[in-house]
Amino acid sequence: MLKIGDIEMKNKVVLAPMAGVCNPAFRLIAKEFGTGLVCAEMVSDKAILHGNKRTLEMLYVDEREKPLSLQIFGGDRESLVEAAKVVDKGTNADIIDINMGCPVPKVTKCDAGARWLLDPNKIYEMVSAVVDAVDKPVTVKMRIGWDDEHIYAVENAQAVERAGGKAVSVHGRTREQLYTGKANWDIIRDVKSAVSIPVIGNGDVFSPEDARRLLEHTGCDGVMIGRGALGNPWMLYRTIQYLTTGELLGDPTPREKMEVAILHLDRLVALRNESVAVREMRKHLAWYLKGLPGAARVKDVIMEETSRDRLVEILKDYIESLDPDGESAVSNGRIQMADTSKKAVH
User: Which positions are annotated as active-site residues?
Assistant: 102
CB of 68 closer than 8 Å to CB of 37: yes
DSSP letters for 82-129: HHHHHHHHHS--SEEEEEE----HHHHTTT-GGGGGG-HHHHHHHHHH
CB of 117 closer than 8 Å to CB of 156: yes
The pTM for the full model equals 0.91
- Interior CA angle at 68 toward 284 and 259, to 5°? 30
pLDDT at 133: 98
Handedness of CA 28, 89, 45, 136 (dihedral sign): negative
Closest to 141 measured CA to CA, from 159, 114, 106: 114
Interatomic CA distance for residues 196 and 23, integer angstroms: 31
| DSSP structure class, residue 160 | H
Mean pLDDT for back-to-back runs of 10 residues, the chain (346 residues): 95 95 94 97 94 88 95 94 96 96 85 90 96 98 93 97 98 90 96 98 97 98 96 96 95 93 95 91 94 89 91 91 52 43 38
- Interior CA angle at 312 toward 308 and 315, to 5°? 140
pLDDT at 141: 97
Q: Which amino acid is at 47?
A: A
Interatomic CA distance for residues 245 and 310, integer angstroms: 41
| DSSP structure class, residue 342 | G
φ and ψ of 126, to 5 deg: -70, -45
Which helix (H) or strand (E) segment holds residue 69: the answer is strand 68-73
φ and ψ of 96, to 5 deg: -105, 120
pLDDT at 1: 86
pLDDT at 106: 86
CB of 344 closer than 8 Å to CB of 270: yes
